[in-house]
Structure 1
Amino acid sequence: MKHLSRFLVASLLVLGFSTANAQDQNNPWAVSIGVNAVDIFPTGGDLPNQGEIFDEYFNASDHWNILPSVSKISVGRYIGDGFTFTVGGTVNKIENAGELEDGTEVSVDDLSYYGVDGMISYSFKNTLNTKWFDPYLGVGGGYTWLDEIGAGTLNGSLGFNFWLTENLAFNLQSTYKHVFEEYDVSNYPPTHFQHSAGITFAFGGKDTDGDGVYDKDDECPEVPGLKEFNGCPDTDGDGITDGKDDCPDVAGTAEFNGCPDTDGDGIADPNDECPTVAGLAELNGCPDADGDGIADAKDGCPNEAGPAANNGCPYEDKDGDGVLDKDDNCPDVAGTVANNGCPEVTEEVQKTLNEYAKTILFDLGKSSIQKQSYGVLNDIIAILQEYPNSKFTVEGHTDSSGSNKLNQRLSDSRANSVKNYLTENGVDQFRLSAVGYGEDKPIASNRTRAGRAQNRRVEINLVKE
């Protein structure tokens, strides 16, 4: 075929052109190869060999000129917002130049056809919300040669891409090429249609992490992920991307930001101090079987309610007097609530103490206790030990014999002598005090021997607070 080098030059021009068409912004570049057919007849032109517009438009057998080989190549780049720009080159051989009014076909002698065209097109794929059916309209211009004669053209195109995969499409296109120059029958190229069919391959999308989601749409472009999560990973497969998953390595639920709740108590495992046992929110997910507000693991008595101060155990009342040991000043001896759990000194006990105390004997005119009184003193000690929370006063008294000063000194000395014996034999010294009243508090008449004997005495009396 003559002048084949022109097609090669045109092809190199197309391949070297920097602005072109593609599917979309993810695959901005596209290359198409295919075959083309030139039809001069159905153009509505003024030449005798041209019919009305679209007349016998699909009459391929009578009017189409087809070169049975790859005869079209184009390169395109996506511009944005559905627009693309394409540059293409075509080559053909013209044998059929249309048809006269009487039906006679006009034949020519293998004219060489070359074309270089540029086109701005708009895709309706997104408008139709489809991924495989991609109709488009385009306008542009170019230059066409028939042998040595060339002319500029204004082009309008209708095309369809049928996307077989994300990158591969089958393309059909029909272009009306209007020639500006006026030619007669012997001067070509005239206005004509050019149809083409071929394969389009889109490429150029950047996918840094190789996960099949292009960087432009990949929310995690440097980490392989899943398409359903816009390229972000979901390591544990719980439907929550790692970036939004508080537990990315353990499957969980959206309610807990991707963390599990193993025991189902409504507290996510990372915040649950007892993740395998259902518990309470206020105890960080731990159970409280006895309901005392202390988690079982920290409760000394998990099945009995008790205060925190006693490690979750109830306070005991060992002596059974109704006063808890924590409040019982005498936890081992039954007492009364009024006396803080300690036994109260009754009038009978008080009377017994003083009956014993009156029998304490001293050496004549002295404060030293006679040995025969030790037994009764020990009885007094036993009684005092029964009331460990009570305080007593040891009182010394004399008769009126002798001087008042002497009697006062003697009573003080005898009271302290008894106190000392009691404290030296087990009674807490802080529970006892001693005082002497001399002859000031007689209980009988000092005029008789019997009365004076009664007045010479020691009393042990309860201190009432």
Structure 2
Amino acid sequence: MKHLSRFLVASLLVLGLSTTNAQDQNNPWAVSIGVNAVDIFPTGGDLPVQGEIFDEYFNANDHWNILPSVSKLSVGRYIGSGFSFTAEGSVNKISNWGELNGEDQSVDDLSYYALDGRFSYSFKDALKAKWFDPYLGVGGGYTWIDEIGVGTVNGSLGINFWLTENLALNVQSTYKHVLEDYEVSNYPPTHFQHSAGLTFAFGGKDTDGDGVYDKDDECPEVPGLAEFNGCPDTDGDGIVDGKDDCPDVAGTAEFNGCPDTDGDGVPDPKDDCPTVSGLASLNGCPDADGDGITDGKDGCPNEAGPAANNGCPYQDKDNDGVLDKDDNCPDVPGTVANNGCPEVTEEVQATLNEYAKTILFDTGKSSIKSESFNVLQDIIKILKEYPSANFSIEGHTDSQGRATTNQRLSESRANSVKDFLVNNGIDQSRLSAKGYGEEKPIATNATRAGRKQNRRVEINLVK
């Protein structure tokens, strides 16, 4: 019992130091507890009671020494690339001392305890296995039987059967070769030590201090929550920040963590009007009149109209049935056929020419007599009633005098009338002037009355 107490104290010390160091290490630790069996016989040793190597290897009834309680404790640290180091302690009682001349040999319950260290290589990753974890180990240690101790060189073969990520069933067989000889009957001989137990894996580095080890932490450098594998959820909406389009504002999974304040189905970052319910087609903004223009940009939000008119309907100020946008004369009633402008009727045309015939000029000149100014104002008034109509001012003479002189005079008088009209508010682009001389008489030049009729100015509509 004295040696058992020593072993338990040493094992607890190793375990205590290991778990303390684990807080600063990047690799996981493992603790195993279980039972062990010591078998002296199938080792190929030098004692008369030992047989050939592996002879009756599984003869547990006759050769194995088993203490019916927890009798082995180990602490292991993963090094990397499949390698680990393990410190083990075990206790036992030796009553089976091999076999001599076919007779099983026994002793009086010798105390057995051992402290060993082992480097192991796991084949789990090489086999791409999830639960089956065979390993090989080499190492050494020190074994005592009663008061006599000796150093050993060890070789181990074991298997971990992982039941969960952190719990495994462990079985192991270790060959312990004694390095020294003693001339006493109960010195520790070369032997096998078998064991079975449970392995608990734990520990690891936690860089961000969030309680989730780096090997399991999807966000190892940012403190997070265990339920999100160590990743943070700043706004507490159940969506980790890395997948949350709005990590600082609580939202819904439907919108990748973003809110929809106005409930219109458009998340706030994509909603141009986040506090007012609107249409997805208009980036979340409302359109009260349904004209496709958001209320904020609609000059007439409650009255449908085209975008070209700032959302307002087109007006028809002169009520002539032609919208102002298509009305060449929006302030004067006209006809559809004439693009909203009034049409010059035959009666108006006749009136213009009746007025034009009364325009008087100084004899042989193009200067207009002042008594004709009133009639010219009447002509101007009529022309202004038809702002889209264009007119041709035509000058004519009788046949008296030279034809070339008459031609120049007719052109000069036509231009004189045009200039008067332009100077009094008629757009010159609407007017043209031409002289015909004596080419187009409307009466005979043989009489005085006929020649008077031929000396005239006409104002005709250009169609």
TM-score, normalised via structure 2 length: 0.68
Take 1:365 and 1:121, find their aligned partners in 2: how far apart are those partners? 131
The residue type equivalent to 2:330 in the other structure is P
Question: What residue is the counterpart of 1:222 in the other structure?
Answer: 221
Report deviation, 1:224: 0.6
Report deviation, 1:217: 1.9
- SS of the counterpart of 2:434? strand
Report deviation, 1:300: 1.5
Report deviation, 1:209: 0.8
Report if the CA contact (8 A) 2:334-2:343 is conserved: yes
Question: What residue is the counterpart of 1:102 in the other structure?
Answer: none
- SS of the counterpart of 1:385? helix
Question: What residue is the counterpart of 2:278 in the other structure?
Answer: 278
Q: Residue by residue, what CA displacement relative to the aligned partner does 1:406-447 show, whole Å, maximum 9, x if unpaired?
A: 444443443334333333333223323333333332212223
Take 1:123 and 1:75, find their aligned partners in 2: how far apart are those partners? 20
Take 2:172 and 2:403, find their aligned partners in 1: how far apart are those partners? 148
Report if the CA contact (8 A) 1:232-1:241 is conserved: yes
The residue type equivalent to 1:434 in the other structure is A
Question: What residue is the counterpart of 1:207 in the other structure?
Answer: 206
Question: What residue is the counterpart of 1:440 in the other structure?
Answer: 439
Identity of aligned residues (%): 67
Q: What runs of 5+ residues in structure 1 fail to find an aligned partner?
A: 99-104
Q: Residue by residue, what CA displacement relative to the aligned partner does 1:139-164 show, whole Å, maximum 9, x if unpaired?
A: 9986532323769698999999999x
Take 2:412 and 2:148, find their aligned partners in 1: how far apart are those partners? 155
Q: Residue by residue, what CA displacement relative to the aligned partner does 1:151-204 show, whole Å, maximum 9, x if unpaired?
A: 9698999999999x98xx9x9999999999999x97476999999999998664
Task: Indicate the RMSD between aligned Cα atoms, in angstroms.
Answer: 5.5
Q: Residue by residue, what CA displacement relative to the aligned partner does 1:334-386 show, whole Å, maximum 9, x if unpaired?
A: 22333332212111111111112222334444443142x33322222211111
Take 1:251 and 1:317, find their aligned partners in 2: how far apart are those partners? 52
Report deviation, 1:206: 0.9
- SS of the counterpart of 2:415? helix
Q: In structure 2, do the counterparts of structure 1 residues 351 and 53 end up closer, same or farther at CA, with 3 Å as the change threshold?
A: same
Alignment of 1:271-420 (within 5 A): 271-275=270-274, 276-281=276-281, 283-366=282-365, 367-371=367-371, 373-420=372-419
Report deviation, 1:269: 2.3
Q: In structure 2, do the counterparts of structure 1 residues 443 and 188 end up closer, same or farther at CA, with 3 Å as the change threshold?
A: same
The residue type equivalent to 1:301 in the other structure is C
Take 1:35 and 1:408, find their aligned partners in 2: how far apart are those partners? 136
Report if the CA contact (8 A) 1:7-1:89 is conserved: yes
Question: What residue is the counterpart of 1:426 in the other structure?
Answer: 425
Deviates more, 1:9-18 or 1:249-258: 9-18
Take 1:345 and 1:246, find their aligned partners in 2: how far apart are those partners? 69
- SS of the counterpart of 1:145? strand
Report deviation, 1:255: 4.4
- SS of the counterpart of 1:238? coil
- SS of the counterpart of 1:211? coil
Report if the CA contact (8 A) 1:38-1:192 is conserved: no
TM-score, normalised via structure 1 length: 0.68
Report deviation, 1:225: 1.0
- SS of the counterpart of 1:379? helix
Take 1:278 and 1:415, find their aligned partners in 2: how far apart are those partners? 66
Take 1:266 and 1:3, find their aligned partners in 2: how far apart are those partners? 76
Q: In structure 2, do the counterparts of structure 1 residues 194 and 448 end up closer, same or farther at CA, with 3 Å as the change threshold?
A: closer
Q: In structure 2, do the counterparts of structure 1 residues 107 and 325 end up closer, same or farther at CA, with 3 Å as the change threshold?
A: same
Report deviation, 1:332: 0.7
Take 1:162 and 1:395, find their aligned partners in 2: how far apart are those partners? 114
Q: What runs of 5+ residues in structure 2 fail to find an aligned partner?
A: 43-47, 50-57, 98-105
Q: In structure 2, do the counterparts of structure 1 residues 56 and 336 end up closer, same or farther at CA, with 3 Å as the change threshold?
A: same
Take 1:375 and 1:2, find their aligned partners in 2: how far apart are those partners? 146
Q: Residue by residue, what CA displacement relative to the aligned partner does 1:379-405 show, whole Å, maximum 9, x if unpaired?
A: 222111111122222223333344444
Question: Does residue 256 of structure 2 align to residue 257 of structure 1?
Answer: yes
Deviates more, 1:80-89 or 1:362-371: 80-89
Q: In structure 2, do the counterparts of structure 1 residues 28 and 389 end up closer, same or farther at CA, with 3 Å as the change threshold?
A: closer
Report if the CA contact (8 A) 1:211-1:225 is conserved: yes
Report deviation, 1:458: 2.3
Q: In structure 2, do the counterparts of structure 1 residues 421 and 117 end up closer, same or farther at CA, with 3 Å as the change threshold?
A: closer
Question: What residue is the counterpart of 1:76 in the other structure?
Answer: 76
Take 1:418 and 1:398, find their aligned partners in 2: how far apart are those partners? 15
Report if the CA contact (8 A) 2:74-2:89 is conserved: yes
Take 2:212 and 2:107, find their aligned partners in 1: how far apart are those partners? 55
Take 2:172 and 2:79, find their aligned partners in 1: how far apart are those partners? 22
Report if the CA contact (8 A) 2:395-2:411 is conserved: yes
Question: What residue is the counterpart of 1:28 in the other structure?
Answer: 28
Q: In structure 2, do the counterparts of structure 1 residues 3 and 106 end up closer, same or farther at CA, with 3 Å as the change threshold?
A: closer
Paired residues, number:
439
Report if the CA contact (8 A) 2:36-2:72 is conserved: no
Q: In structure 2, do the counterparts of structure 1 residues 418 and 77 end up closer, same or farther at CA, with 3 Å as the change threshold?
A: closer
The residue type equivalent to 2:375 in the other structure is V
Take 1:279 and 1:123, find their aligned partners in 2: how far apart are those partners? 61
Take 1:343 and 1:65, find their aligned partners in 2: how far apart are those partners? 122
Report deviation, 1:6: 8.3
